[in-house]
Amino acid sequence: MNRSPFPRRPFLLAALALAAATPFAATAQAYPAKPITVIVPFAAGGTTDILARVIGQALTRDLGQSVIVDNRSGAGGNIGAQLAAKAPADGYTLFMGTVGTHAINQSLYKKMPFDPIKDFAPLTRVAMVPNLLVANPGKPYKTVKELIAYAQKNPGKVNFGSSGSGSSIHLSGELFNALAKVDMVHVPYKGSAPAVSDLIGGQIDIMFDNMPSAIQHVRAGKLRPLAVTTAKRSPELPDVPTIAEAGVPGYEATSWFGMFAPAGTPAPIVAKLNGALVKALADPQVKKKLAEQGAEPYSEKPEQFAEFIRQETAKWSKVVKDSGASAD
């Protein structure tokens, strides 16, 4: 009776496949075995930092390891993003990205130190955030129409701060310039917090800040809210109109924030991190903390986040081109 010289070949192949997959499975089971660092590409106290710390606390509890926030600001978020892109792809360095770092900067900067698509593994969007048009209370305008009238009578004399060239805060101002037909001067900072500090101090006039870093100062009476940049009013500030309602039809701008790992991070670790983030963002306490900041929690699968980034890149590329904005 003739027998195949390789009677157990199918079983052998299955065993080899299992052996090959075992190290990755074991890695995911053991992960995390040490603290995790989340690189935030803007200064402490800004929206990106606030969100990272809220999420980090929840991940610390759920993953059983400390989550440390490392602020690396500069170049519209590019410095921190470059650092994260070059970190080991082992799940121990994550990155809190923004619409700026992953959808705007590649159109705004002639030379990019990283590729927002190829150098990162998307984990999930974390939050959608309105921008809030705020003014120093000492300025002579209390509404959007009054601001436009003042800016038109005083071209080049109204300035607006931002967390850096290419940030959503910057482009929200450029979009306002274009649609309201005014000439306001952009003043970039290395993060939202120092810009807000100068706004309160009167060194700059207005700002289209992310709501989480501005709302506390509005509630304290240190900043005057003029409008929100979204299509609908914010539940946290229901009496504040949208910019479109207040006199600039068609105006809409929304910021988003998301968590990334370096490209090449093993798929089981990406899946574990996505699961932990989704769980954290569904936690009632996390949702409450984000809502108090004016942020809307948001979670999805990595592939859904990747598709969203592609859509946002196309959208903001047009805004940058139409506005003529440049960071170089």
CATH number of the domain that residue 111 is part of: 3.40.190.150
Write the CA distances from 224 to 7, 139, 189, 216, 253, integer angstroms.
Answer: 79, 9, 20, 11, 19
pLDDT given at position 7: 47
For residues 118 and 140, membership in a common domain is answered with no
Location of structure tokens 């609908």? 232
Q: For residue range 271-300, what is the model confidence (pLDDT) as tens digits?
A: 999 999 999 999 999 999 999 888 889 999
CB atoms under 10 Å from CB of 219, counted, come to 12
pLDDT at 219 exceeding the cut of 90: yes
For residues 75 and 103, membership in a common domain is answered with yes
pLDDT given at position 46: 86
For residues 158 and 138, membership in a common domain is answered with yes
| Structural domains of the chain, count | 2
Give percent of the chain with pLDDT exceeding 90.
Answer: 71
pLDDT at 328 exceeding the cut of 90: no
Whole-structure pTM value: 0.79
17 inside domain: no
For residues 123 and 72, membership in a common domain is answered with yes
CB atoms under 10 Å from CB of 142, counted, come to 13
- pLDDT confidence band for 17 (50 / 70 / 90): low
45 inside domain: yes
For residues 79 and 219, membership in a common domain is answered with no
For residues 52 and 122, membership in a common domain is answered with yes
248 inside domain: no
- pLDDT confidence band for 6 (50 / 70 / 90): very low
Q: For residue range 78-137, what is the model confidence (pLDDT) as tens digits?
A: 999 999 999 999 999 999 999 999 999 998 888 999 999 999 999 999 999 889 999 999
327 within 8 A of 108, measured Cβ to Cβ: yes
Structure tokens at 135: 């003014």
For residues 218 and 137, membership in a common domain is answered with yes
pLDDT at 312 exceeding the cut of 50: yes
Average pLDDT over residues 249-273: 95
What range does the domain containing 268 cover? 35-129+255-323
For residues 106 and 181, membership in a common domain is answered with no
Q: What CATH number corresponds to the domain at position 162?
A: 3.40.190.10
12 inside domain: no
pLDDT given at position 27: 60
Among 27-31, 76-80, 137-141, 202-206, which is the least confidently predicted range? Answer: 27-31
Average pLDDT over residues 156-173: 89
pLDDT at 304 exceeding the cut of 80: yes
For residues 109 and 143, membership in a common domain is answered with no
Write the CA distances from 178 to 148, 163, 173, 210, 322, integer angstroms.
Answer: 12, 20, 9, 20, 9
pLDDT at 26 exceeding the cut of 90: no
240 inside domain: no
9 within 8 A of 65, measured Cβ to Cβ: no
pLDDT at 323 exceeding the cut of 80: no
Written as one letter, the residue type at 1 is M
171 within 8 A of 320, measured Cβ to Cβ: yes
For residues 108 and 184, membership in a common domain is answered with no
